[in-house]
Structure 1
Amino acid sequence: MNEDWPQHFPPRGTVPNAELYDQCIDACSLQWWYANAHLMVKGEDRPSLAFFVSFFRRAEESCPTITTKHHDACMWALIDLKHQKYYADSVLDPESIEQLKLQLDPAVTGRKLEHVEAALLELLNKGRVPRPDRILKNKAVYTQQPFSITLDDSCAMRVAQKGPVRQYAFEMRNTADDVYVRLYFKTQQQPVFHGKDGRVNGMYYYYFPSMRVTGFVVVKGVKHEVKGLGWYDRELDGSVSELGRDAKYSWSWLSLHLSNMSQLNMFHGTSGIEPDTRKMIVVETRTDGSRHYHDDVVMQTKKTWSSLVTFMQYPVEFHICSASMGLDVTIHTVFDAQELGTVLVGGAGFYEGVVEGSGVCGGEALTMRGFLECKKNAAPYSSTSELLKCIGSYVHGALEEVYPLDASDSWVSENVLGRNAINRGVPADKVCDTLFRPVRSMIDRGGKSWRSLVLVSCCNALSRQYFDCRRYIAVAELLHVGSLIIDDIQDNSMVRRGEKCVHVEYGVATAINAGSACYFMAPRAARIQDLPPEKASRIYQLYFDVLLAGHAGQGLDIYGLDYLMPKVIETGDVSTLFDALDAIHTYKTGGAVGTLCAMACVLCEAPAALSEAVEKFGLTLGLAFQIVDDALNIRGFEGNLKEAAEDIKDGKITYPIAIAMGRLGAADRHTLWVILRKPTKEAADIRDAVELIMKVEAITECLLIARHRLQEMWDSLDPLLEDSFPKLMMRTLCSFLVERTY
């Protein structure tokens, strides 16, 4: 390799010999073979299916030698545009698990595990990976003449040269989704090199932008003969820098077929975060075979989509313009959920999906169809706390839609008043001010939003296809927010989420009304009535069951547990007290989270045994959250989210109190109980009570109980639920909720 042009690259600025450079070149630290196609099923007049595939080969060293080890992978998907299904598959080298473990192991990396990494390492140590990733039984097999790549019986690419025509045959098998693909791509022109001279960001890149595609696909046992338009590209790494070969790199790439029979290859890459407006490297190929390089093309994101699997954000609508081309087009994804998950990239996924658009090029009106690839260098969060902030922002956006502060009269009539609307007498802004604004004052402060994370993760763990459960977030959040508003009134609290409680700011009467209305707005906002009758009925049953149980639990909590304390003080036996606490908080907290998980099971049609285990997961998680919440109330919260030792001030019997009563001697039990019963407590009283609780390590025991219950629950759920990134999120929450400090 010389400093300017690697020896294994084709000559600079010349049309490459595909027969030579398609072959595996082990002087590359990274190389890939990629193809995509837009497919029409026989008898149809427009594409209803699409396909893409990427074969990767990576060396363990940046400057490979004859002894360097290589690792292979293949990621691909068949995309059903008509039914918005994304059948993704990702096969990894047999040694991938060991490689991934080395990248995560703190003993090797010298850094602690963050967020989902601990759950992933736990899974890897069991010899498993999350779907759609799966491990090959054997190393990839390459042949050079004729060139082919074979990965077990899962993925194969075979190349043949027949005169001037070069054929790329792909045979792909996704047994989990019952999908089989056999396609033949045939060239119609010479290859084209990308960029100014063939090199883009350290990679040599050539491609065939317009290929005839024939073959067939089989989906769920149904065979479809197809034909269409294809694209193939080949990339070779020539960089010894980490930028050229490392996963910590972001890019947007578009392959576009225009209705005037020209093609555009567009690329933007960065080592940082991609801006909403970015200049693209573009090569235009025309019907006469000519190649034209453009460096004045600007892509501006108009709309984004957030994945509820990885919580990555991708552009799904954008405007592209170029003065040199006379280009002015708007492009959008055919449907949003076209993300492929894999542990091999930062953020656990990347976007590869079909786009279409229209506009003007060179004064001519045209349409276009293509593929968008969008890879981020990392997730927008590095810890579970940061993820919850991302979730909080997403939840806030979802709730703004169903709790608007400037709703129209027609919106209020349709979404609030329903059949009772008389469409006169009261303007919508008064409804917003009295019903929505008090609730929004709570919502707008933010919150942990972990209940919504549980809901969306359960839905997407239970469904092999992406499950868009944005609308159901209203159930998780409004049920919770409504209960907080009412609880604060009943408990005479002054502070919630770092600010005045709603009843302090808006008055008790308004707070009661607005808080109660949340319970009724939740199923309306989630549009439960639009579900199939059987599902809707089951969801309503679950919802009203937990609503009633929650009120029973709240009633018991208000009544208190003082009636159990004489025996506890006398004997130190807290078993009955513990049972009572578990019952109250199962009804108040655990049951609500368990119900969200049960709703996910109904929505995703999970089998009975799995549904039971998933609901138990939610119930246990909610109960563990309450145990930790009680412990933190004594220890103190970060950020003044609540008043320190508020429960002692209020004389409440909580888990730390129960544990302390079971460990303290008779005299100390009596002292603690006397303090708790005082109607007014001085600072010294609260300090003395906290010291008694801390003396017997009641806080530590609370955390141990929460951890034990969650581990026991997870051991039951783990073998029943398919491994996936959403499942890793669920596992991560188990750890986070007992390790948190707020």
Structure 2
Amino acid sequence: MDREIERVLPRELTADYLRSFFGEGRYEYDPDAIEDALSTPVWDLLDRGGKRWRAVVFLMLAEGFGADPTELLPYAVIPEILHNGTIIVDDVEDGAEIRRGEEAVHHRYGQDIALNAGNALYFIPLKIVERNPADLDPATRLAVYEMLTHELNRTHLGQGMDIRWHNSDEVAITEAEYMEMCACKTGCLGRIVGRLAAIVTDQDDDVEAELAAFMETVCIAFQIADDILDVEHSLDRAGDFGKAVGNDVKEGKKTLIAVHAVRNAAPEDAARLQEILAADDTTDAEALAAIEIMEETGSVEYARERALALVEEARDHLDSVPLTDDVAAELAAFAEYVVERDA
């Protein structure tokens, strides 16, 4: 998969690549500057690992619909590149310190470079559609463009809600609002995987909609599972997870766990939890105190139950998608994995 990404964004940028990929400059490109500000920070992040599951699921779906996944391999990197762009920008907006076990990109390279690189990753995948490696007809290419535009717009609605809540001292949101944020911010990237696979393999609108719903639901469950992992990993296991201890608490994130805990904890505990979430600087001890309130209120277990229920809902959507039996079984198992994983 990384080799395919390198076809789109090489590690080393040359003048020939820039001219062939972005067009002739009016005067003269500076390949070294563009490499330092774009390719280097992006590949720094990519080389740290990451699950690459969005690309893998896209290829599974293509095969499940009877297409040759090798012919569609260039399209598999579209959601992967987009995902990493959202990570870079999200870390800046959240003030995150660690990503995949190392400094967040903006800490290592500066906010200006991080934002430019992250934003560029929203647009670079469009060059794949433009170059049309699978020789898609004009109507199909237009459908891909329109789908990407729609879903990427919605990701910013989700991020906007998350930022607004992060900047508020109170946990004043409903569970439904939290779930909608997840559907937009995280779910849309999953919807891109499903819808892209359906569009390029010429599935009908109903199949595309069901597959989009499956992927969106799995991604919401994935986000809740991520929130659970952040709470459950202790100081001595934080390195394995690749995040600082109580990262979500320190960032003041209004997760499903936090929302449930504030609604159900004793008044003094709810007030203390909101105080910790609102603090500009939170110690490990304070983060762990907040986590203890969440656990004692049963909020972690509640979130796990919601995630498991979403997995069942996702499988119902999958039942309506005409995939081969083996691919359908693998996707159902994948849906369970996103909740049961420990990293």
In the superposition, the TM-score normalised over structure 2's length comes to 0.91
Letter in 1 for 2:87: L
1:520 aligned residue: 123
Distance 1:433 1:489 in 2: 19
Letter in 2 for 1:685: E
2:5 paired with 1:408 = no
Q: Hey, what's the Cα distance between the residues in 2 that align with 1:471 and 1:724?
A: 25
* Cα distance in 1 between the residues matched to 2:227 and 2:196: 27
Q: Is 2:35 aligned against 1:398?
A: no
3-state secondary structure, aligned to 1:560: helix
Note the alpha carbon deviations across 1:607-631, whole angstroms, 9 max, x for none: 2222211110111011111111111
CA distance in 2, matches of 1:719, 1:511: 41
Which residue of 44, 50, 56 corresponds with 1:453?
56
Q: Deviation string for 1:364-389 (max 9, x for gaps)?
A: xxxxxxxxxxxxxxxxxxxxxxxxxx
Separation of aligned partners in 2, 1:589 and 1:528? 27
Indicate the structure with greater strand content: 1
d(CA) in 2 for partners of 1:638, 1:726: 34
Q: Is the 8 A contact 2:95 2:251 kept in 1?
A: no
User: Aligned residue for 2:97?
Assistant: 494
Instruction: Note the alpha carbon deviations across 1:637-671, whole angstroms, 9 max, x for none.
Output: 56141112111112221111112223322232222
The match for 2:228 among 631, 653, 656 is: 631
2:29 maps to which residue?
A: 426
Decide which of 309, 328, 335 is 1:727's aligned counterpart: 328
Relative distance call for 1:528 and 1:542 in structure 2 (3 A) is farther
CA contact (8 A) 2:187 2:215 kept: yes
**Contact (CA 8 Å) 1:564, 1:577: kept in 2 or not?**
no
- Structure-2 separation of matches of 1:561 and 1:648: 10
Q: Which amino acid aligns with 2:148?
A: Y
Any conservation in 2 of the 1:610–1:720 contact (CA below 8 Å)?
Answer: yes
Residues 468 and 707 of structure 1, relative CA distance in 2, 3 Å threshold: farther
Q: Which of 468, 471, 479 is the equivalent residue of 2:82? A: 479
SS at match of 1:493: coil
1:373-420 superposed Cα distances (whole Å, 9 cap, x missing partner):
xxxxxxxxxxxxxxxxxxxxxx222212222122332221111x22x5
What is the match of residue 151 of structure 2?
546
**Structure 1 counterpart of 2:25, which letter?**
A
Counterpart Cα distance in 2 of 1:554 and 1:716: 26
1:335-734 to structure 2, matched below 5 A, reads: 395-415=1-21, 417-418=22-23, 420-422=24-26, 425-463=28-66, 466=69, 468-527=71-130, 529=132, 531-560=136-165, 565=170, 577-636=174-233, 639-734=240-335
Q: Distance in 1 between matches of 2:67 and 2:123?
A: 31
Residues 333-356 of structure 1 deviation map (CA, whole Å, 9 limit, x = unaligned): xxxxxxxxxxxxxxxxxxxxxxxx
Query: Which amino acid is the alignment partner of residue 714 of structure 1?
Result: R
Report deviation, 1:427: 4.2
- Displacement of 1:738 in angstroms is 0.4
Question: How far 1:525 sits from its partner (Å)?
Answer: 3.5
Whose helix fraction is larger, Structure 1's or Structure 2's?
A: 2
Give the distance between the partners of 1:701 and 1:526, measured in 2 at CA: 42
Separation in 2 of the partners of 1:731 and 1:487? 29
Taking the aligned partners of 2:304 and 2:117, their CA distance within structure 1 comes to 35
Cα contact 2:9–2:39 (8 A) shared by 1: yes
**Residue 12 of structure 2: SS of its match in structure 1?**
coil
Q: After the TM superposition, which of the residue ranges 522-531 and 589-598 deviates more from structure 2?
A: 522-531
State the percentage of identical aligned residues. 26
* Letter aligned with residue 421 of structure 1: G
Structure 1 residues 537 and 506 mapped into 2: Cα distance closer, same or farther (>3 Å)? Answer: same
Q: Is the contact between residue 452 and residue 477 of structure 1 (CA under 8 Å) also seen in structure 2?
A: yes
1:20-169 matches, within 5 Å, as none
Superposition deviation, residue 543 in structure 1 = 0.6
> Matched residues in 1 for 2:199 and 2:4: separation?
22
Q: Give the aligned CA root-mean-square deviation in angstroms.
A: 2.1
Q: How far apart, CA to CA, are the structure 2 residues paired with 1:507 and 1:665? A: 42
1:289-327 Cα shifts (integer Å, max 9, x gaps):
xxxxxxxxxxxxxxxxxxxxxxxxxxxxxxxxxxxxxxx
Are the structure 2 counterparts of residues 662 and 504 from structure 1 closer, same or farther at C-alpha, using a change threshold of 3 Å? same
Separation (CA, whole Å) in 2 of partners of 1:470 and 1:527: 15
8 Å Cα contact 1:471-1:527 kept in structure 2: no
Tell me, yes or no, if the aligned pair for 1:398 and 1:470 is still in contact at 8 Å. Answer: yes
Matches within 5 A, 1:229-378: none
Per-residue CA shift, 1:669-710, capped at 9, x if unaligned? 222222222222233322211111111232222122111111
**Which structure has the greater CA radius of gyration?**
1
**Aligned residue pair count:** 337
Shift of 1:527: 4.3
State the secondary structure of the residue aligned to 2:28. coil
Unmatched 5+ stretches in structure 1 = 1-394, 569-575
Once residues 396 and 463 of structure 1 are traced to their aligned partners in structure 2, the CA distance between those partners, rounded to angstroms, is: 24
SS in 1 for 2:174: helix
Amino acid at match of 1:676: L
Distance 1:505 1:565 in 2: 32
Quickly say closer, same or farther: Cα 1:684–1:445, change in 2 above 3 A. closer
Shift of 1:522: 1.1
- Whichever residue aligns with residue 401 of structure 1, its letter is R
Please state how far the C-alpha of 1:716 moved relative to its aligned partner.
3.3
TM-score, with length taken from structure 1: 0.43
